[in-house]
Structure formats: structure tokens, C-alpha cells
Structure 1
Amino acid sequence: MGEGERYEEFAPPEALRPFVRLLWTYAAPAPTGGVQRIAPDGCPELVIDLAAPYEEEGEDGVFRPQPSVIFAGQLTRPMAIRPVGAVEIVAAKFEPDGARAFLGRPLIEATDLRLDLTALLRGFTAPSGDPAGQAAALADCLETLRRAGDWRIDPAVRAEVAAVEREEQGPSLSSADRRALQRRFRDRVGVAPRTLRSVFRFRRIFDHALGQDADAASWLEAGLAAGYFDQPQMARDFRRFLGCTATEWAREQMELARQLASQSYKPQG
């Protein structure tokens, strides 16, 4: 990490664990200002900028400031951001199917989008420079919303998500039941099961490769360990999800992008 940079993760309170995978905080007092590519990981997130919000590149190539409070839906294509000042963030990473009640609308409507939730969390405060305090403040906020909203999980969708993440086949269903489950899956997750399986496989590359020398051989070894058949198949997913090659990403990425990619992402039991 750079000087003063920090990244920390916190387990959510018991009542939130069916919905929230983890809480995390990040700070970079003097970021480089370089463009960072954020890798998909299969989980939507609530991200609160306590300092200067990042700028995000639009489809027209223009960078514009993000809102200070965003809901980031599932990613299926590259997202490029850059800092414009000191960074301090507190965020909640939801389970893949855990944000439906929080958002109050189908997750498919948030896929590849960053929704402005500033009004929903108006008045939220968190202590500057206190990661544990920031995570606790966000947990308290989410718990208040959970109690007011009667959040629930769809057991069949949760079972399908778990099977996809473990690289297993879901339960045997009739064609009609399978189509109905796929509709509910897209509503609660934001992508189809096949797409989520591809994201999970892509995400496992980072668990194997980061921390090693980022040469072509180490990335290929990581890709094979993650379940890819060969280098061209892995390269296609790097272009699809990050818009660059593995070695380009490793050479260019720093700060928040690298911290998020470095998170352990093991199947949840």
C-alpha cells in the first residue's frame, strides 16, 4: 500500500449476515489520480464516499463525479474510475442475492449501473479516520433499514447462488420450474446464473495470481486453477470484464482496484 493507505474488512452483525457478506473501509490520503479498473466479483455493493467521490468514465469516454452514496449493481463489463482528491470510503458488500429488499426494486435494473442513493442515506455520518467506527455506523444504518423493511431471502434463489459459487449443479427441475427460477434469479441477483458462474470463475483468478510475480506464466497457472481450459479462454474474459489483458491490468492497477481484487473470495458454506 501507499503511504497512509489502508483497507480493512469487518464481519456484519448476525442479523445482517443473510444479506451482507462483509463491510469494508478504504482510505488513501494522497492517491495517484490514475485510472483504476474495478473487477467484477458477483456481489452488489453500497458505497459511501466520506471524502472526495471518484470520477467514473462514461460510455462517451468522459469522466464525471460519482454521487457520494451509490448502489453499485452487478458488473458484467469494465468500470473505470479515478480519484480526484483524498479518498475515504465505507461500504457494504451484499450477498449476490442479498440486496433486493434493500434496493426495493429488481436487481436487473441496477446491473452495470451506479444508482444515486444519497437521498436514502441522507444524514448518515461516520467518524473520519476510524475504520471500525465507520463499519459500525453503516451496520447500524442497514439494520435500521432491515427492521423497517422486513428483508427476506428467497430460499430457492439462495440455493442456486450457492450451487453456482461452488461450481455445482442446482437441483433438478422441470423446464417450467427452471424458467421461473431463472426469472426470480435475475430479479434478485441482477444477472442470469450462467453469467454469475462466469464472474465467479473470473474472480478466482485473482485469488491465485495476486501476490505472485504478474508474468504471463503465473496468470496462465492462475487461470487453469480457476477453471479455465486455456489462455485464450481466460484472455476473452479479461477483455469482457476488464477491457485489458491480465498483464496490463497487473502493471497498471493500484490503490482501491488492487485492494478489492485482492480480497479472498471463497465459496460460502
Structure 2
Amino acid sequence: MASGEDRYREFEPPAALRPFVRVIWTYAAPDPSMTIQRIAPDGCPELIFDLGAPYAEQGPDGTFHLQPSALFAGQMTRPLVMRPTGPTELVAIRFEPDGARDFLGLTLATATDRRLDMTARLAGFVPPPGDPKGQAAAFVAWLDDLRRRGDWAIDPVIRAEIEAAAEDKPISCRSPGDRRALQRRFADRVGVSPRMLRSIFRFRRVFDHAATPSADASWLEAGLVAGYFDQPQMARDFRRFLGCTATEWAREQHELARAIASKTYKPGPPHAD
């Protein structure tokens, strides 16, 4: 990586972790701009290890506080607003929407819209600086050891509902009692309701289809393809999930926020280049 150049890479998980992990990603910015970054919900919790200067996260009162060097980011229903404080280097596990329950050992609802300190749990974990492939391999080895020693499993009913939501299939007809039972299972294993997850997936599909996301026309076309009825409906979700308009986001976001949107939201296998 050339001096001052940002670097974002994604790696596929091994077969044993694939039911639980969507992708392993790494990011480095030797000379970040220190500007505010807006990260939208994507339906997946993450485990993040920071080898560089910590990010500062904006709290509900508008003040910024430093994130811990290792954290678990639960499901998000609102934007994460943060800014770098120095040279950045991250390695992270992005779980499947329902893939982190056994790792966390807690109901996922306890982590929704929260970043949990994992510093003690990752004590002694030292991925090699400046080596994305080595960082991903180290994180995978650490996590797979936990999986082997634990009794990790996927709830097939929840997974089927998630897959239906991701494919934008019609909602299944259920009795009121069955709907409440599903919502409880979702709160435990996913952290948000089935309806909220569908809303997040629909918003994410906007980025799948936005070919030139600096143009209003492109955003509108992408929103219609993603399943929105009209521009005002999509605009409400931009405010809800990013805290700004589509045009403002495209103009202002750089570095990690843009890297995640341009890579992670795209359909297909992980990008490793």
C-alpha cells in the first residue's frame, strides 16, 4: 500500500464458519481526513479489532467519545456517526444477521444500537499490522477455535425468514401467536424485528443499484429498483438510517463509509483486490 493510500479488502470465511460469518474485512487509512463518517445499518452485527488510533463515536447528546480497541457492534436501526482520530487500521468479522448469537452468548437484543467492549475477551489477540491476509487469517483462526469449543448452531426457521427477507419475498401469513413467537426468536438471535430487518435490507439494496450515487436521478432509479414507491419514501429512510439526504451523503462521505458502501453493499462474492 502506497503511503497515504486507503486500503479496503474483503475475504471469504472458511466453510466451517460460513453459516455464521458473511465476510472478513480489513481497512487501513494512514492519513485519514478526520471528517465525520456516517455508517448505515446493513443487517449484520460485527466484531471489530482496531490496530490503529481509535475512532471517536458520536453519542446521543452529540458529544464524541473514543471507541474501545475491540468491540462488538450489534444490529443498527439508526446511523453510526464517527470520525477517525489518527492513522486507522481495522480487521473485522461481519456475521450473518443471525450468526453471532452463540459467539456473543447473550440475546442479540442487548447489543442493538450499541457497541460492546470486547477488549478483555480479545486480550492477547495481535493480528499482524500491515498484512490484510494475515489479519483475516488470524481472526478466522481465533473465531473458529471458539466455534469448535462451543455448540454453535443456526435456527433454521430464523434463517429461512432472513433469506426470504433478503430476496424480498412476500411475508408469510402467520397467526398472531406465531408472529409474536417469531418476533421473540428474532430479538434473541438477530436483535431486530423481521419488519425492521426487511426495511434495512430494502435500504441496502439502494446501494446495490446506485451506479453513479452522486446524481439525484441515479438515487431515485436505484430506490425504485430496490422496492421504494417514490422518492419521498426513500428520502425518509435516508434520514432514518443515515441522518442525511442521499445527495448529502454522496457529497460528504469518504474513506471507510464510502469503502463499505461501494464494496459491502454490492451483490456477489467478497472483493479481495
Task: Tell me whether the two structures share a fold, i.e. TM-score over 0.5.
Answer: yes
Which aligned pairs between 1:254-269 and structure 2 lie closer than 5 A?
254-262=254-262, 263-266=264-267
Structure 2: state its 5+ residue gaps.
Answer: none
Partner of 2:39: 38
- TM-score w.r.t. length of structure 1: 0.95
Q: Separation in 2 of the partners of 1:74 and 1:240?
A: 14
Partner of 1:153: 154
Q: Separation in 1 of the partners of 2:256 and 2:3?
A: 11
What's the Cα RMSD here? Answer: 1.7
Deviation at 1:267, TM superposition (A): 8.6
- Counterpart secondary structure, 2:48: strand
39-48 or 164-173, larger mean C-alpha shift: 164-173
The code of the aligned residue for 1:198 comes to S
Q: Separation in 1 of the partners of 2:215 and 2:175?
A: 46
1:219 matches 2:219 = yes
* Runs of 4+ that moved beyond 6 A: none
Which aligned pairs between 1:38-117 and structure 2 lie closer than 5 A?
38-117=39-118
Measured against aligned partners, the alpha-carbon deviations of 1:73-94 in whole angstroms (never above 9, x if no partner) come to: 1111111010011000000000
Is the 1:165–1:267 contact (alpha carbons within 8 Å) kept by the matching residues of 2?
no
- Counterpart secondary structure, 1:225: helix
Identity rate, percent: 65
Partner of 1:235: 235
Is the 1:31–1:87 contact (alpha carbons within 8 Å) kept by the matching residues of 2?
yes
- Counterpart secondary structure, 1:81: strand
Q: Separation in 1 of the partners of 2:3 and 2:82?
A: 18
Q: Separation in 1 of the partners of 2:22 and 2:78?
A: 22
Q: Separation in 2 of the partners of 1:166 and 1:101?
A: 25
Deviation at 1:264, TM superposition (A): 3.7
The code of the aligned residue for 1:233 comes to Q
Q: Separation in 2 of the partners of 1:81 and 1:222?
A: 26
- TM-score w.r.t. length of structure 2: 0.94
Is the 1:76–1:241 contact (alpha carbons within 8 Å) kept by the matching residues of 2?
yes
1:190 matches 2:156 = no
- Counterpart secondary structure, 1:146: helix
The code of the aligned residue for 1:249 comes to W
Measured against aligned partners, the alpha-carbon deviations of 1:173-206 in whole angstroms (never above 9, x if no partner) come to: 4432332122101110000000000000001111
Q: Separation in 1 of the partners of 2:136 and 2:192?
A: 28
Q: Structure 2 vs 1, CA of residues 31 and 2 (structure 1 numbering), >3 Å: closer, same or farther?
A: farther
The code of the aligned residue for 1:84 comes to T
Q: Separation in 1 of the partners of 2:37 and 2:47?
A: 19
- Counterpart secondary structure, 2:19: coil
Partner of 1:248: 248
Q: Separation in 2 of the partners of 1:246 and 1:264?
A: 15
- Counterpart secondary structure, 1:221: helix
Which aligned pairs between 1:163-202 and structure 2 lie closer than 5 A?
163-169=164-170, 171-202=172-203
Q: Structure 2 vs 1, CA of residues 217 and 171 (structure 1 numbering), >3 Å: closer, same or farther?
A: closer
Which aligned pairs between 1:116-127 and structure 2 lie closer than 5 A?
116-127=117-128
Measured against aligned partners, the alpha-carbon deviations of 1:203-260 in whole angstroms (never above 9, x if no partner) come to: 1111111x51512111111111111000000000000001100000000000000111
Partner of 1:129: 130
